[in-house]
Every structure is written in C-alpha cells, then in structure tokens.
A and B are shown apart, each in its own frame.
Chain A
Amino acid sequence: MKLQINTSNVVVALVAAGLLLLPLYSQLTGNIFILTLFTRIIIFALAAASLNLIMGYGGMMSFGHAAYLGIGGYAVGILAFEGIGSGFIQWPVALVASALYALVIGALSLRTRGVYFIMITLAFAQMAYYIASGMSRYGGDDGLTIYKRSNFGGLIDLSNRVQFYYLCLGCLFGGIYLIWRIINSRFGLVVQGIRSNEQRMQAIGYHANRYRLVCFVISGTICGLAGALLANNTDFISPAGMYWTRSGELMVMVVFGGMGSLFGPVIGTIFFLLLEELLSQFTEYWALIMGPLLLLIVLFARGGIMGLLGRFNRG
C-alpha cells in the first residue's frame, strides 16, 4: 500500500498516536477523568466503525445498531449474574448472540430498501429494547448491575483502568484493521459494488442480498463486541442503553466523521462525545445546541470531517 502524506492521513496518525499515549498523559498529570472519558469514546468508536461498514461501504442505513450494544452487554451481564464470570465464555456468547440477531433481523429487513429499511431496523431494535425491559429477572427497566468484570484468568485485568483502556484500544484498532481487510477483499468490493449499482451487480452474476446479509452480520458482530466492552466499562447494563436515540447517536458519529472513510467514525465519535462533554459543562441543555448543529452539518458539511480534510488537500 502506498502511504501518502496528506492532511487526513496526518490527522489520523496524530489521533492514533494520541490515543496510544493517552494513559501516559493521564498518569503524569493524575487526570483520571480523561482516561475514563476516552475509554468510553474508544468503545463507541468501535461501534460506529462497525456501523460504518454497512452504512458507508454497504449502503445499508441501519437505524437499529444500539441493539447490538445491548445484546453484547446483556450477554456479559446475564452470564455474570448467573455466576459465569469467565470472559472466555461471556465474550464468545456476546458475539454469537449478536451475530444470530443480525442474521434474523437482516434476513427480514433486507427484503426492503431505502426508508423502509431505516424504519424496520429501527422497529426491530425497539423490539429488542422491549424484550430487555421485560426481563424482570435481570432488572427489567432498571437494568442489571455487573459486580465483577469479565475474568480472563491472569491474562489481563479488566478492573485495571490502564489495562482495560488498552484492551479497548486494541479492539478498536483490530476492528478497523479487520474492516480495512474486508473492504479491499473480494467480498468488500462486491458489497461496495452493490451499494453503487445493485442492478448492474445482479446482471453480472451476484446475488446481492446474500452479500448484504453477510456484511450486516459482520457489522452486528463487531458491534456486539463493543457492547461487551461497554458493559464492562460501566459495570451496568440496562434497556436505556439500547434505546433508539442511541442508534441515532451512532449514525451521527459515523456521519460526523465521514461515511465510507475507514477512520472517519473514530474522528466522528471523538468529536461528538467531546462536544457533548464540553457542552454539558456549559449547560444542562446541551442538546439545544447539538440538535441544530446536527441540522447544520447535514445541510452544509456533507462528507463529515474526513470529507472536509479531503477537500483541504485538493483545494
């Protein structure tokens, strides 16, 4: 691969380096808050990256991605509640459950296109939300406290802030590397081709929906991993975490960063969550600013931050 030096690559490299060195900064300044904040950001960036795989590359506008955060999280929470604390069991269960859910939802939703698809993924995620609310054994609406984080033997200690941070960062970089391989593979080109012109792809011999569905499942599985991480991060899981506004926020993160750009979701997530943090320090009513800002970005800055950086190069 040719590595070009341009603004967006420089920004990406700086951000990656900053994320790698953040614990050092936190250690030196004693600022623990920033480490906690960025652990959360990194987990959401992984979720956003998984959404970007289907939205940006696959052209599937899923409005139900928060469901996977919930499913991954509940897999960890429920197993912990039932006395199974090993991460070697919890995490694979989280991934498999997310994949199965994606398989069923995807097979149904992909019968439709466009707005129907947006509405249906939204509705199914809402169904998952109601199921979670109905599980009274696991806290129902009030949610479930996770008293012990996933146990990986002596391998890694998730209760150690720095170790957990690097685990999340590893998952993020691993996830992005995986997505990078996928989008350049035979499979990835087919999926992007289908986004670009489905009729043409069918005419040259591709069963479009089969490829779409597999892409949908991969995306859901990666997001399920983010869910497992998130549950460990908050030591708590509740239906509120899979409410539909969370799905909307994930979409916003992807679009802020730039759809269909590999690192865009990371930049978008950092921007969105930092902005939220910043605004909520000024005012309790931060959404009064965030809402209209979102409208303005949609109206005037399509392509997101990575798009703007790209324009910077050409201009």
Chain B
Amino acid sequence: MADPLLRVENLVRRFGGILATDNLSLDVIPGELHAIIGPNGAGKTTLISQLTGQLTPNSGTIVFGGRDVTGLPSYERSRLGLARSFQITSLLPNFTAADNVALAAQAHDGHSFRFWGNARKEKPLRDAAQAALTRVGLGARADVPVSELSHGEQRELELAVALATKPQLLLLDEPMAGLGVTESARMVALLKELRKEVTIVLVEHDMEAVFALADRITVLVYGRVIASGDPDAIRHNDEVKRAYLGDQHVVVAHG
C-alpha cells in the first residue's frame, strides 16, 4: 500500500460536553475515492471542517502529504493542495460564476497584492476558470451571477471552484445535497470522471451514489469509526447494519 496522502490520528473534538469527534483515525491513499458515511449527527461535517482547518481539534494530528498540518489555518492548507466543497453552498453570491472560479485560480497564482491591472482581463485566470467551468458542465453559464444560478448549478460551481485550486485532495461535503434525480445522476457521472485525476474524500447521504463510486468506505457513528473497508465489506458488516437500523430507509429506499 502506498503512503497515505492524508493520515488522521486520534482526532478528538468536543463541543461543550459532546464528543463530536471521538478518537478518530483515518487514512486516505493517493488515487482513491474514500467515502465517509454515517447517520445524521455522526460528526461528518465536523470532521471535514477539522481536515480543512475551519475548526481546530482538541487533540490528535492531521498529516497531509507527509506534513503535519494540524495547526495550519485553512488558507495555508489550501495552498498545500487541500480543497473542499461546502455542504451548504458557500459561494460569492454577487460575483459571476467565472469570477468565483477565477478567484480560486488566482489564489494559487502567487500573491494577490496587485493593485493596478484589471484582473477580469487576465487571460490565464479567465482561461483556467473557463476550463474548470466546462469540466463541470457550466461552460455556457460563466457570466451569470451566482445568485441567478439554480441550486444544482451552484453545487456544480462549488466543484469547479475546488478544482480551480488544483487540489491533490478534494473533500466533498454532501455534493448531492438537495439535488433532484437527474441532477444527482449528472453529479455522479461528473465525480466518476474527476476521480481519475484527483484523490477524493466524499461525505454523502446518498447511499446509492456512495456504493457506486467509493473504493473504500468509512462509517462514522457518534464521532467514532465503527467500520472501514471496501463497499462489499461495509455492506455486509453487522455493526454497520445495526447502526443504520433506525435509519434503514436511508440505506434501502433512497433514490
């Protein structure tokens, strides 16, 4: 097995008396699509936020690409090649789709203390933005303000923004949230393409999508890893079945 791209060891995060992340350890191998599932309140988003630096863990370490990033702020992790999409769409609403993506490309093209030239006329940035937009199927919507995009388009734009930072690891927090059937299918097709180029950690509720996409699945319950393995192993894991019993409709009936 190759050295892990991301290694999480003994991560702990408390909110008041509640353990949101309970001594959690996790490896992500280069090239894989690693899904993280679990019932509501399992601490999935809390985990992602600690991985990207929006939240600081109480203890434990996060090693990315061989470097301890536990104490690094999110902007520095982004520079190292860690990108995320947000569960609740988090874009710049009064900017166009192209602006959103170009700003992500700009962030990884040296510093931005350039005060004079018109950034919207910088061809390399615009080209990079257009390329990322085309990748996610928004090529024709580049000049539309985000606030006028549909929910599905905004989800795709989230992906384009993350891609434009040229990440080594993409952390996707429920990219399918709130999507309709056709939109979901498009997103799955898109992720199938993307996974060929970039390592992905996918947090998702849509079990059908998870089992169709993942190389490995880690199951979280109450902030703890209760199982980790390939989709078949997870499907037949008794503890996982038990954990999802109250939530069974999610496993069986979704989609």
Residue ranges of A at the interface with B (Cβ–Cβ < 8 Å) = 181-182, 184-190, 192-193, 196-197, 199-208, 211, 214
Contact = CB atoms under 8 A, between A and B. Distances in A.
Given A202-B73, A203-B74, A189 B54 contact: no
B104 A188 contact: no
B165 A204 contact: yes
B84 A203 contact: yes
Contacts of B84: 203
Given A193-B95, A196-B93, A204-B104, A186 B75 contact: no
B116 A185 contact: yes
A200 B92 contact: yes
A186 B115 CA distance: 7
14 contacts: A185-B116, A186-B119, A196-B94, A196-B95, A200-B86, A200-B90, A203-B52, A204-B164, A205-B104, A205-B165, A206-B107, A206-B112, A207-B73, A211-B112
B114 A186 contact: yes
A190 B111 CA distance: 11
B218 interface: no
B199 interface: no
- Could you tell me the dominant secondary structure of chain A's interface residues? helix
B85 to A, nearest CB: 9
Interface size range on B against A: 35 or more
A204 B83 contact: yes
Interface string B65-80: 0000000011110110
Contacts of B78: 202-205
Given A203-B78, A204-B161, 9 more contacts: A182-B115, A185-B117, A186-B106, A186-B115, A196-B95, A202-B78, A204-B107, A204-B165, A206-B107
B182 interface: no
Given A199-B54, A204-B83, A204-B165, A185 B91 contact: no
Contacts of B174: none
Given A189-B103, A197-B92, A214 B113 contact: yes
B90 A185 contact: no
A207 B119 contact: no
A206 B116 contact: no
B119 A184 contact: yes
Contacts of A199: 54, 90
B94 to A, nearest CB: 6
B67 to A, nearest CB: 16
B174 to A, nearest CB: 16
A203 B167 CA distance: 12
User: Lowest 3 A-B CB distances belong to which pairs?
Assistant: A205-B78, A205-B107, A196-B92
A205 B91 contact: no
Interface string B239-254: 0000000000000000
A193 B103 contact: yes
